[in-house]
Amino acid sequence: MKPYIIILIFAFFIISCDDDNVVVSTTNNNNNNNNNQNNDTDISYEWLIPVEEVFDGGPGKDGIPALTNPMLLKATDADYLDNSDLILGIVSGSEIVAYPHKILDWHEIINSSVGVHHISVTYCPLTGTGIGWNRNINGMITTFGVSGLLYNSNLIPYDRSTDSYWSQIRSDCVYGELAGNTVENIKLIETTWETWKTMYPSTLVVGDNIRYNREYDIYPYGNYNVVEWLLFPVNPLDNRLHLKERVHGIIINNKAKAYKFSSFINQNVLITDNFEGSELLIVGNSTKNFIISFFNDNSLVFEAVQDQLPIVLSDNEGNKWDVWGVALEGPRTGEQLTNTNSFMGYWFSWGAFFPDLEIYE
Amino acid sequence: MLRILILIPIFFLSRIADGQTCCSGGVPLSGNIGFIGEEKGLFQFELSYDYNYLNTLYYENNKLNDDSRKRTTHSVLFKTGYNILNSLSADILFSYVQQEREINQFNSINYTRTRGIGDAIVLLKYRVDGISNYNQILLLGLGSKIPLGKSNLKTDQGISLSSDLQPGSGSYDFIYWGHFQRQFKSRPSLVVLSRIIYKQNGENNEYLGSQTYQFGNEFQSIIGVGDHFFIKNLLLTPGVSIRYRNTSFDKVNKEKLANTGGDWIYLVTSVGFNINSFLTFNISPEFPIYTNLSGTQLSTDFRFNTGLHIKLNNYKSIKTLKL
């Protein structure tokens, strides 16, 4: 036997072993149900989004651990936050809570209860989108986890009741038992920690004493949030603006329109706009770092109010309205403007999910 | 006979100089290449198994309180080397790889496994005669990694998996290799060696369909010592070495990817059992003693390599093997 024969035999062996295969499974420790999601024999559901544009982000399912009811701190005790840090805030009844990007960058989802709301604060660090979801799905209170999958570079949470997969920006279920269902969005305001605690000094905030002891002072994606570069492909890629410019998007009838901070320079600025047949009120302040929006469905004439946060608007009847669209003073005290379906996000994510969307200039 | 006795510990020291990974997933290719031999016509084969276990999450050099993630890489490696001349030899390495990812979190275990043919390596080595003599040897090598392994595996649903779960890297890489060893007149069986390996990685231009992915370049340097002795009629070849490894950032579309790259120092031990004059069996466990990573990453807790090595001098030895 010549030596090269040995090599040829092994080469033949290697080639014959070319049975590349992939197994993905989830085993529940409580009931030992084995759900082989991706085996040939157990594909029970169809994806409602193009599966060829769904990518495994790397850490795997629950590799980024979502939080549930994390410890809350008083604002004065949150030493780990800088005034310029971004937060997502909610007010529900007498409860006021802030969810810092510093925590969400590492955990992406915080399942929480605030006032009457069972809420999941979902945040995708890659698209910069923070959206509040009602955890009450078809009458069942669930929690959400991080699936480790991405669609158009955007977070795909899964619900732990049915193991169905949801698209964050679409806010609908795209795979599993609940496919086709939508989730109710709960309004959050994204702004700086300084602006938030100025508006709500009694706010509580998620603390950094979390058992996973991540380095919350460190942004985990390097320079991703400032460069014209994406980690995962998106389709389509719209580069009319800087890919990572934070814009406020409003969604009506599955169409979106984007509003830039450059329209809200240095003071509270009110823009009245018409989109998809609706009269809109968009209020923002580049210095205070927020943009919010409402439907103007009662034909009042509004103007921006300065230096009275959380009050941002007044009208021709003498009412004063806060950042949630609630009248705090005037004859309509207690009434509320209808919130738009809107949130902040990196420009590219709006362009990917709502191709050719309009940009307010 | 004396020359054979000297070469045996060199072989095992070269084993403990194996590199751990050529990518973040842990396929041990670049360090596993490089037979030592100086006779024209020398044929060497090795079939080995390599196990790499990652379970500790680090931020830089701090261990984080989260052991929910496990990554393991099982590799079957076949390499062969042939001395074309006394001073010129060539090695080829083939691999078969199984990557596993397991996350034990929130009362469930999520498991992902891929397997398939991995990448291959070809290395040409030249003995520098001006420096090499009976007591010492200097070898310089130049090689390439050939992307035989798939780098675009998807789940059965069609979901593309990340680069570190792929059996192949999808790129052609250059390998620069250097090896120096020295024996001592006072104890000829005692060998001290050092090895340097630099792998300059190319780009996978089909990552996730339209992206480019480039694993970070890798530098390894090893210094070790080995000896041999008999226990009854069995010749044992123990060795120990320190291995330093540095990898630079991976890049996606030429931009640095956070949480990749870092510095490691490993304590590598090995012992070889010489079954007969041409067949040896070896075991080599490896432990990290220093880890300092870029950002937050899983890192190796333990690595284990074992294999059978056959050394054949010309074709006469092959006839002996047949008998």
B50-71 average pLDDT score: 94
Q: Which of A94-108, B28-42, B64-78 has the lowest mean pLDDT?
A: B28-42
Q: Which residues on chain B are in Cβ contact (under 8 Å) with A52?
A: 158, 160, 209
Q: Give one DSSP letter per residue of B88-126, joined into a string.
A: EEEEEEEEEEEEEEEEEETTEEEEEEEEEE--EEEEEEE
A313-319 average pLDDT score: 97
Which residues 251-270 of A have a C-beta within 8 angstroms of B?
Answer: none
Domain A246-359 maps to which CATH number in 2.102.10, 3.30.230, 3.30.43, 2.60.40?
A: 2.102.10
How would residue B277 be classed by pLDDT, with cut points 50, 70 and 90? confident
Give the model's pLDDT for residue A6: 57
| pLDDT per position as a tens digit, A217-250 | 999 999 999 999 999 999 999 999 999 999 999 9
Between the alpha carbon of residue B32 and those of residues A83, B17, B78, the distances in Å are 52, 8, 10
Give the model's pLDDT for residue A11: 58
For the entire predicted model, the pTM comes to 0.90
Give the model's pLDDT for residue B290: 97
Dihedral class, residue B11 (left if φ above 0, else alpha if ψ from -120 to 50, else beta): alpha
Give the model's pLDDT for residue A98: 98
* Residue of chain A whose alpha carbon sits nearest to that of B59: A215
**Residue from B110, B161, B293, B321 whose CB has the most chain A CBs within 10 Å, to mutate:** B110
The owner of tokens 């031990």 is B269
For residues A102 and B2, the model is more confident at: A102
C-alpha to C-alpha distance for B194 and B10, rounded to whole angstroms = 11
> Rounded mean pLDDT of chain B?
87
How would residue B129 be classed by pLDDT, with cut points 50, 70 and 90? confident
A187-196 average pLDDT score: 98
pLDDT at A1 over 80: no
Q: Residue B82 pairs with which residues in a beta bridge?
A: B43, B90
C-alpha to C-alpha distance for B244 and B222, rounded to whole angstroms = 6
pLDDT at A21 over 70: yes
Element (H, E) at B269: strand B262-274
A8-37 average pLDDT score: 61
Assess A58–B contact: CB distance below 8 Å, yes or no.
yes
Give the model's pLDDT for residue A339: 96
SS3 A1: coil
How would residue A25 be classed by pLDDT, with cut points 50, 70 and 90? confident
C-alpha to C-alpha distance for B30 and B218, rounded to whole angstroms = 9
B123-142 average pLDDT score: 89
pLDDT at A44 over 90: no
Which residues 3-22 of A have a C-beta within 8 angstroms of B?
Answer: 3, 6-7, 10-11, 14-15, 17-22
Residue pairs spanning A and B at CB distance below 8 A: 170
Q: Give one DSSP letter per residue of A32-66, joined into a string.
A: --EE-TTSGGG-----SS-GGGEEE-SS-TTTS--
B189-214 average pLDDT score: 94
Residue A107 is given by DSSP the state H
Give the model's pLDDT for residue A26: 73
pLDDT at B313 over 90: no
Which ipTM value was assigned to this complex? 0.88
pLDDT at A43 over 80: no
How would residue A19 be classed by pLDDT, with cut points 50, 70 and 90? low
Closest Cβ opposite residue A27 in set B108, B112, B113: B108
Cα angle value B132/B135/B141 (rounded, 5°): 35
Q: Is-contact A231 A225, C-beta < 8 A?
A: no
Q: Which of A33-47, B235-249, B261-275 has the lowest mean pLDDT?
A: A33-47
**Cβ–Cβ gap A56/B162 under 8 Å:** yes
pLDDT at A325 over 80: yes
Q: Which of A302-316, B18-32, B73-87, B185-199 has the lowest mean pLDDT?
A: B18-32
Q: Is-contact B56 B70, C-beta < 8 A?
A: no
How would residue B276 be classed by pLDDT, with cut points 50, 70 and 90? confident
Closest Cβ opposite residue B159 in set A7, A39, A55: A55
For residues A8 and A88, the model is more confident at: A88
- Beta-carbon neighbour count of residue B131 at 10 Å? 11
* Residue of chain A whose alpha carbon sits nearest to that of B318: A1
SS3 B240: strand
A43-64 average pLDDT score: 93
Give the model's pLDDT for residue A53: 96
**Cβ–Cβ gap B150/A20 under 8 Å:** yes
> Rounded mean pLDDT of chain A?
92
C-alpha to C-alpha distance for B152 and A270, rounded to whole angstroms = 49
C-alpha to C-alpha distance for A304 and B185, rounded to whole angstroms = 91
pLDDT at A254 over 60: yes
* Residue of chain A whose alpha carbon sits nearest to that of B117: A18
Spans of all domains in chain A: 12-206, 246-359
Rg (CA), chain A: 23
